[in-house]
Structure 1
């Protein structure tokens, strides 16, 4: 049974805002240079039972001599990019709104490639039990909405849905977002610990296959197809390790293209081998539901609109000072030299 952790809605993105203090105390240097060429090992956090794009890229051989060093798992994008900003890892990924918030609070980070998004196959859905009386935004007043973390993608989409549903700020504050580990979210909904569950990817499709759930809305319905999150590195790490950054970004871009152009059954089979090979006692059954990473642009290239949307939205809400964020300083595609992916090497 999961432990539900309520946080005040008024502190939207507060998790990321607080991280500026940690950034000031951290090295923000990442692995640092190792000889003239810089480090060729990148520390990162994974996700239980899932294959991240860098993990896929490494298995395909697209990272060349750059090696990934797994330091543990996370269920939170804001926590992941905070770890990168403080030098505990060398890259981290999060919802672009969380990236903007962290940068606005003084973290010396830069987005280098998109890694997830929303399309017709890859989207975050907000689900209720089939017999639930919840059918509109107003019905959510006083209800609990379970999601993987606060201050990130799921809470932002919930806020947009409530706003479009005509709720006042006071009424929106009566909707209670709760942190629930992704692997427990479906169970928490079915056991009536929460009223709405945010489900995505393989966990969403596995839950829907079990029946008894009804879709309330999706992020794709709200915003259409879009790249939603980026991997970030510190500016110092990028400066010290440009060749490594170029190899990493280009390899991840090629892996995204490979996943898009390769038959789904082959992608799923490869992901299953990757999870089994790393030997962490993870369930591979959900991988068969994988469909897409959802990234909109070829090679994972970042467009200004991917971040500008959230600069405007957060500034309008009063969550950031617009003057503290420069769009051109937030991201770069300079290290992305990916081209359409060639056939991957067989069975590594």
Structure 2
């Protein structure tokens, strides 16, 4: 059985293993024990706090358990760049025209900005490749069920950075064309600097003037807005939710930054609360759905067979124990994206 729950400090060894396995470029899951422990502690504190007027700066980390083993993790940053600006490149078009020469050129440029500072950020997604695609949907969307149930904790807009193109040796064509020229550091070195130091070094060293894309090498131009093959699954899950690759890219590897209106995401629009009914004999109408309890620090989400009859969500005793609910409690539930997955 698979379950998504809040991270615990005892999960640190498993989170460390996943940070190593996630490879290069996932700065939201750093291969740094102290930083990982700090984020776990931040998450534990966030889940323990009640929503207040000051809510909105917390970091929530979830883990995916399969038969008691932690095999995945995903996070929500309630306010990206709360402590420091969240830098990205904004993709724009400049027009260069000369009436006497009858020249009118539209030039693609990149401007460093912090437009996305303060937005909700989905981050730190990783699932052990040995597990099925269904595990990825459960993990990715479970955190959105939490958002739907705890809406007052989060803002209006949401972003998700996709890892950009780089090779196994850590060479990023986008970074080599721009960042390396100003930092004199390779991609692996700057990733460690990003994890270990204040992010003010970005503003201190990166060019503040527009980057004219046609002046970059072809390989770097082709990497703009592209997604590393390892991120194809989270990209598909998020675009099904309603995320779009807008006008922003990652400042380091040029990967796409997806954006959306939080309330327009599929899971938020098409989920609802229902009282629980526990029965050993589910009606024939039962099918597989994504469900969660309505707790905060004891939040749990899973895939379970559910039959909604006259407004009551009926589940079997095994699912009730997994979700830690009893008759009369409330479930948050939604359908799966892929109808083919509706049977176990």
TM-score of the pair, normalised by structure 2: 0.24
Q: Which has the higher strand share?
A: 2
| Greater C-alpha radius of gyration | 2
- The structure showing larger relative contact order (alpha-carbon pairs under 8 Å, at least 6 residues apart) is 1
More helix, by proportion: 1
TM-score, normalising length from structure 1? 0.24
